[in-house]
Each structure stands twice: as C-alpha cells, then as structure tokens.
Chains A and B, each alone.
Chain A
Amino acid sequence: MGNSIEAWLPAAYCCARLPSDDYQIILAETKGNTGGSDGDIVAKPSSKNLHHVLDIAEHDLGSKAHARPALAASIAIDNGLHIDLPFGHYGIDREGIEFQHLWKYSGSQKPLSEFNLALAMHKASVFLPEPPKGAPVYNYGYMLQEEGYINLLKSKARATHITADNITLQQSNGAIDKVICDGESLKADLYIDARHYNYAATNTNVTYTDGNAWQHNHLRITGGFDMLDHQSGMRLHRIQMAMERLFKLWPDREFAAVEIAEYNRLEASQSLHINDMNLLLQQQTQGCSNTLARKIKLFETRGRIAIEDYEIYSKAEWIAAFCAMGINAKNYDRLAHRINSDTLAQWIEQLQVAITNVIEQLSDKK
C-alpha cells in the first residue's frame, strides 16, 4: 500500500526475489504526493547491490531515472549551509595508520577535506568512475530523479496494481484481516504498509527509533523521516535494508514472534545510528545517545572513529560530519611517529598535488 518509492521499491524487490507462479503481489496505490523530494533523491553506493537484485542496469538508471553519478551526499543545514558526506576515503592509510592521524601529525596547512578525492570531485562537479591508481579510493552513488525512478521500479514490479482513493485496514488481535480499497476487500498473507513515507514530519525531535515496524502480518516501510534522511541517501538505504532484513527473515503464515522481534531489533539498531548522525548534523547533541556521545568523545580525543554494531555510515562520512560541525580532533594516533616526519610531509604534499592534478585534468576536459 502506498504510491512512493517506499511502496514501489518493495514491490519490485518482492517481484525480483519471489517466483511469480508461487506468489502474487498486489500494489494498492494511493493517490497524492510521492515523497516531496523536490524531484531528486540520493542513492548511496550500496544501492548498486539493490539494483543488481532488481536487475536494473546502470544505463536504465541513466535513461529512465536521469541518474547522475554522485560522489557525496549534500545536506542542507541551517543558514543556507551545506555539508557534503563523501562516498570515499580521506587520503590513504599508511602502515596501518589512518590518514587523518598522518595529516594531523604532518601539520599540513591544507584542510583535511582537500585530501578526499571524492569530495574534491564532487565540489568541482567532475567525475571518474574509478579513482586513478594510487589515489584515495571512493565508490560512487547516484542522484536519481524521483519520478523517473518510481516509473523504473514500476516497470520491474510485475504486481497486480489497483488504485484507491481511500484505504482502510481491518484488524483483529493486532493482525490485519483485510484491506478495504474504496470499498473493495483485499486479503493477503503479508501486508506492507508504505503509505506514510513520513518525510513531511516537521517535528525535529522525533525519535527515529521505530521498534515495531513489523507486527504480526504487517510491516511498515518508512524510508525517511525528514529532509536529512532524504538528502543523505538514507531514505533509499532504509528501504533497501528493510527488504534485505525481511528476506533474511522471510516468514510463513505463522509469523514467528522471535523472528519479528529480531527484525524490529535490527531496525531499531539501524535507526539509532541514523538518528545519531541526524542529531549531530542538527547540532542536537546535548543529552544524546551513549553511542553518539562515545563517538564524539573518541573523535575529539584523537580523531578515532568508533564503529558500532550494524554501523550505517562510513568512517569518512563521520569525519566529514564532525569537521563540519566544528568538532575537531585534539590529537592524533601517536603511532604516526613511526613515519619519518620529513618523508611524511613530502608524501602528504605530493598526495594533495596529485588530487589537484586529477581535478584540473578533469575540469579541462569538461
């Protein structure tokens, strides 16, 4: 039930993974707004796995969803400012030491962001599908035109399709008995309710943890809770993760409580991490979760990134967010001293020059 990506993506996903002679998928399409994303949505690099399952080739994304490669997600924060969360590493780690420590130890005057090739390319609006040899690595995602993307998903969803102005659910003992679409009854084994993409939620203090996304025979799919999720690529990512979880825990009609609890536990854990990032970007870190507080402290102390269970964001995305929010590392990993400081300074400078050269060459070709 629904009409946005939250509905069509699960429909396409189910069609791709379930044999058509055994399963019938019905999409009850509601009317109205499909997500309000001003036309574009961000697909993180991990969406490549999703499109592989859906058998959507890159050229289809290009021609039908007007896909443009993206090397970072640009997020608008207050006062017209933007934060770019890169899809690639900062610099190159050496001898097991992460680049941000080497950079700090070297005393380089260039900002850390200049050592992120993905960010540099994103800012210069240039693109190479793969990083040149010896350059900081990245993986690209996409900017997709939402309407085109929905149409592409529709073409992949061999679902029986009905349209309804009004959908009501009839429940007993917590389970859905049937769905009434404009007066007509519809019965199914599993219901996926994607009518509330929830993007319009205006309350920034909502807790994003949704511990009950799956109850009995109905599953709620909410891709994004606010503009941040939308711009960071989490909207699509949440739906992708929900589908992967669902298929790992694919139920039968018994709907085992222990499996549903596990789905909800994993969903809650994922939401917690997304929420941590959102709170950081909204500068609402007072009284935040233990996980975010720990992350901030560890980063401030020596530029280290704590990676939690089922982490969603990469180290580079966290570094970008910390730096943008003015949270800086006071120190660096002392093992950086293993590398001779002159050699290091020289190498760092060369790296920065190499990145600049890549950008200039690509800009010239534009």
Chain B
Amino acid sequence: MESDRVKNIVIVGGGTAGWMSAAALSKLMPEHQGNVTLVESEEIGTVGVGEATIPQIATFNQRLGIHEDDFIRATQATFKLGIEFVDWAKKGDRYFHPFGTHGFDLEGIEFHHFWNKLRERGDARSIEDYSINAAAAYSDKFIRPQSEHGPIINKLGYAFHFDAILYAKFLRKFSERNGAKRIEGKVEQVNLRSDNGFIESIRLADGQVIKGDLFIDCTGFRGLLIEEALQTGYIDWSQYLPVDSAVAVPCEKRGEPIPYTRSTAREAGWQWRIPLQHRTGNGYVYCSQYQSKDEAEKTLLSNLDGKPLASPKHLRFKTGRRKKFWSKNCVAIGLSAGFMEPLESTSIHLIQSGISKLIALFPDKSMNPVERDEYNRLLNVGYAHIRDFLILHYTLTERDDSDFWNYVRTMKIPKTLQRKMALIQSRGRFFKYDDELFNITSWMAVAIGQGYTPKGYNPMVDSLSDDNIIQSLANIRMSIDKAVEAMPTQQAFIDRFCRAQDVYTTAGES
C-alpha cells in the first residue's frame, strides 16, 4: 500500500528539538522517498538555553554519523563529567553527581555496599573518592576513554556542554545536506481535516500553505499544534517541582573551562553554571511564588564569575507533560511535549528519546492508534521516572532557611519515589525499572550526597573479610589517582583535538 506511506513530514520549529528531529528524519528518509520540511520563524526565535547534556547524546551523534570533534568545534562545546551540587543538602555543603560509576562491583555485589560497610566502621572517605569522573572533574582533567586505556579510565562517562544556538545551526547544515528543506515563516493557522481532526496543513503569514502527512510540533512551550490546534491537555506537576521561572545570561569566561556543570541552590531555586569554550552560560531557575523577577535577576547577576555578555533573558514555564505526546498525526517533541527543570539536563535527552521511539514506531498515514498508544505509554513512563529523580533532590534537603526550601522539604512525594527511597534507605537496595534513565550511580550519588545514606549494607558483603574490602577499596582509589594524574587537562585535550575558533562576539552571534 504505497499510497499509505508517510511521505511528507513537516516539522514546525527550528530550536534544538526541531533540528534534532530534522537531522534524524532526513538521515533516515532518503530524498526520493519523502520530504522533510522544517518551518521556523526567526522573528519568534528559540528559547536559546539548554546547553548541558547527559552521555546518551553521544549515541545520537553516532547514529547520525556525526564526528564528535566536528560537533565540539562547531558548537564551542566542552566536556561534562557530571554535576556539582552546592548548598543543596544544607548551606556550605557540596556533592558531585558523576557520570560513569562508583568503584567496581565485587563478587557480584554492588560497590556502594562495600563503601557503606567501611563507612559504618568509621572510614570517613566519601563515595566520590571512588569515582574517576569526580576525581578527573575536580582536577580539570579529561581524556576520551578508549579500550587501551584500561578498566579505570574506561569507567569514565562523559557528555557535553554546548552553545544551543550553534548546535541548532550545526544540525541545520547537517539536515539540509541530507535533503531537509527549511522554510522561514510564521505559522498563523493550523488547518484540521473535517473527517478525522488530523492536521491537514499549516498556513504561514505570507499565505503559503504547507501540507503534510505527519507533523512534528517543535514550537516550544506553547505547543502550537499539539495544544493550540489539537487541545491535547497538560498534566501539571508543579506540586512536586514548583519552580516555574528562569532568568539566563551568558558571561565572559574566567580561565580554563571546568569539565562539569555546577548547580548552586539559592533562596527560591538554584543557579546553573555551564562552561563553554568561548563563554560561560548561567541561569537561575526559581519559583515565582517565593521570589520576584527583579530579585531573581539581581541574585543571578550578583553571582556571575565574569562580565555579562547580554541582557538577562526571562522565561516562564509550567512543569509537567502533555497528556498525549502523539495525538492524531502530530507528535510533540521538545518543550512542546512537556518540561521539567534542567536540574539533571534531561530535556535534550527526552528529545532524543522521542525521536528514537518515533522512528521505532514509525507510522503510515492511518496513524494506527496501537502504535500511537505505545509511543505515549513509553514516553509517559520515561517522564515519570525522571520526575521522581528530580524530586529526590528537593525532598532530601535539610534547608529550612526560606519558604521555598520549607515547602519542597515537606511536600508530599509520589508513591513510586517513596518506594524507591525506602529501598535505598533499607541497606542501599536499588532496582532499575522500565529501562529508566538514571542508574544506581546517579541515585546513590544524590541520595548519599544529600545525607540519605543507606542504613546498613547487603549482608552478603560480610562474605569478604574486612581486610580484603579495605585493600580492594584502597586499590581502587590508588588506580583512580594514578589514572587522573596521567590524564591531560580538559583544555589541553580540547586544544589538541577539538578547539573551536576563537570568537570575540556576544554568545550566539558567532
């Protein structure tokens, strides 16, 4: 049934979501078999933030055949080994959420049980001391792990910080090379079919009508197609994640970029610091119920480590997700699908996940509800797991120095998270459900980092003698120290392999 085939894919929106979708679909769909058209409006512009990622992005690049160093050079990217959380558990406190793993499992038992046994015996070392990522991050070191580097460096996990505007530009070039067509224009009307309510076409301000079989809504928070036209509905999670505003500003960089993101808790939210090759990205995500726009801007500007390079940009959002990510012949990807604060840099990953699931369940023109439901089910589950992990950061705080922290410290949390926390508390038990994104290292890093250390350990640990455990853990620490010592600094690595052109303009204008 050739006539059933989806031939015209129309992507509305040219931010990170739009161009990631265009890149993947144009690569997948040879020109003679279909058209990928992307409509974007320079007048409206993009959200312009979203610069920290998680390691899974490497898979996206690989699938597209993008060479990592090309991508780094084009986007002024740096490497990210994890996130440092400052003042989260309480003021003056810090911990590191690393990519990669903590130590090594021994005798089939997860590493943190051994660490916890020694801790209970009075060993004051932090679990971070067993993370190659944390050690490299705090020494400003980086190396791309390769098999010949041996088991310790091979545990190093990494992602990137990049300039969001440059990333969209980079993917635009890639997509256009693969046959995607870009149309500049503002969508003014969405036309629905009278028989089944599917989107038939969009009309631009200049009168152009663009028809499609499948529409990808990448129009950002407003969800021009999925919500304004199809009225899909939104599930609000702000009772769990109450921040609803952000103010962002790039600033001049100070010294060499560090290979990690920093998240510093402030009075009514938290501030990010994302180091790039040419500048530093900063933003303050806060709850408008507890702090005004002006106060938030002041807080951000007084906590920059360089001169601002632009005027601060204010954003508003509602945490949650669409009731359906895929409705009729429209799939929402990116901010139009939902949004959770960027505390763990998950939004770009959710874009990637949406694209790969769409490809795995690629429809024909009839948009079979079975496939649509499966897509929605898989994404619902993915969003909910991430939501729970984000809530963990707040619910574990001890801070009581502001109304905001008092609210999040005492708020009700979802049952799914309660169960996970109870298991962690009970001797550090952890099971990954439904292919969920964050693994045991992430959960333990945040839980232990915020003082929610498991009570006890798997009693199986006692099958190894204390001396044996002490020796094994000392060996791990020693190997990490040695490996980090031998690594180049991140700057040296970048200079050697992937240095971007120097820019002397304001961020985004290069």
Contacts and interface: CB of A to CB of B under 8 A. Distances in A.
A17 interface: yes
A82 interface: no
B68 to A, nearest CB: 20
Interface of B: 1, 4-6, 28-30, 33, 63, 107-108, 359-364, 368, 370-371, 373-374, 377, 419, 422-423, 426-427, 429, 431, 433-435, 456, 458-460, 462-463
A298 B369 CA distance: 10
A178 B482 CA distance: 54
Contacts of B374: 294, 298, 304, 306
A141 to B, nearest CB: 21
Contact of A337 (B5, B456, B462): B5
B436 to A, nearest CB: 9
The 9 closest A-B pairs by CB, nearest first: A309-B434, A258-B422, A250-B460, A297-B370, A301-B370, A19-B463, A256-B426, A252-B459, A258-B426
Contacts of A18: 460, 463
Could you say which of B107, B363, B435, B463 has the most chain A C-beta atoms within 10 Å of its C-beta? B463
Contact of A304 (B361, B419, B433): B361
A334 B6 contact: yes
Contacts of B6: 334
A322 to B, nearest CB: 14
A355 to B, nearest CB: 26
Contacts of A96: 63, 359
A259 interface: yes
A133 interface: no
B371 A22 contact: no
A250 B459 contact: yes
B458 A250 contact: yes
Given A258-B426, A331-B364, A338-B28, A309 B435 contact: yes
A100 B4 CA distance: 20
Interface in A228-260: 247-252, 256, 258-259
Contact of A259 (B4, B364, B429, B433): B429
Give the size range of A's interface with the partner.
20 to 34
A19 B459 CA distance: 12
A304 B364 CA distance: 14
A182 interface: no
B459 to A, nearest CB: 5
B364 A17 contact: no
Given A294-B373, A301-B370, A309-B435, 17 more contacts: A17-B460, A17-B463, A22-B463, A96-B63, A250-B460, A252-B456, A256-B427, A258-B422, A258-B423, A259-B426, A262-B419, A294-B374, A302-B368, A331-B364, A334-B364, A335-B28, A337-B5
Nearest to A249: B429
Given A17-B463, A258-B422, A304-B371, A247 B108 contact: yes
A299 to B, nearest CB: 9
A219 interface: no
A298 B363 CA distance: 12
Contacts of A210: none
A266 interface: yes
Contacts of A177: none
B362 A333 contact: yes
Given A17-B463, A334-B6, A335-B359, A266 B371 contact: no
A266 B431 contact: yes
B463 to A, nearest CB: 5
B431 A247 contact: no
Contacts of A256: 426-427
A65 to B, nearest CB: 24
B459 A335 contact: no
7 contacts: A250-B460, A256-B427, A258-B426, A294-B377, A297-B370, A301-B370, A334-B362
Contacts of B4: 334
A298 B371 contact: yes
B371 A302 contact: yes
Contact of A338 (B29, B423, B426): B29
A87 B117 CA distance: 41
A34 B47 CA distance: 67
